[in-house]
Amino acid sequence: MAVKTETETTVETALSAQLREGTREDHARAESTPFVADLMAGRLDVAAYADLAAQQHAVYVALEAAGAALGERGASVALPALARVPAIESDLARLWGPAWRDRVDLLPATRRYAERLREVATTLPGYVAHAYTRYLGDLSGGQIIKRMLARHYGLADDVLAFYTFDALERIKPFKDEYRARIDALELTGDERRAVVAEARGAFDLNRAVFAELGARHAPAP
């Protein structure tokens, strides 16, 4: 029987690899929702994008408050360079004006998502699960979404700040570094399994938001 090398074992058991494999199908289901497909294909309008940003604002307020509450426990993964709340607020102010908060109409699915974050993301495993799904998604598929929004809706960078990470020099090396930071966390086997399970739940929560956005913003006939 072949004996695994230390390198092979490390790669196989790395938490970031477990997250990638454990959420692959959930990720695909979230990306294939009709709302996302319609938005990416230019079948909706700027109002749909603004509503998406408003829902994201509630999610990131909860996530980033939880990250701050972790303090030193989460210092290696709750990074200021990733903070999205100021960018979303800038986008909404440009889309809806200075009184943008008065126009926010949170969906029931968004409220459930934010509540789940407040419940679990103040623990390190809970935070890692949600930070992985949100930030690495923004740095990957989010960059494609940014290009499609600019192409189909004529949106300028000043209303797409959410997808722009000015504090990062290069995205690809940072993603590798962030995965390495996740892998370096000292978590028990049970905690690792909890991270993967919670990340799967995060995709379900996100998909529910997309479903309700789709019901609110149908493409023109």
Cite the annotated binding site for heme b by residue number. Answer: 20, 27, 132, 179
Distances (CA, A) of 198 to 95, 180, 188, 208: 33, 19, 15, 15
Rounded distance between C-alpha atoms, residue 143 and residue 164, angstroms: 8
Rounded distance between C-alpha atoms, residue 164 and residue 173, angstroms: 16
Closest C-alpha to 145, from 9, 17, 42, 26:
42
Binding-site positions? 20, 27, 132, 179
Closest C-alpha to 73, from 122, 8, 130:
122
Token output for 173: 């090396």
Q: Tell me the residue type at 6.
A: E
Length of the chain: 221
Rounded distance between C-alpha atoms, residue 182 and residue 201, angstroms: 18
Rounded distance between C-alpha atoms, residue 72 and residue 67, angstroms: 10
Token output for 13: 């058991």
Rounded distance between C-alpha atoms, residue 212 and residue 105, angstroms: 12
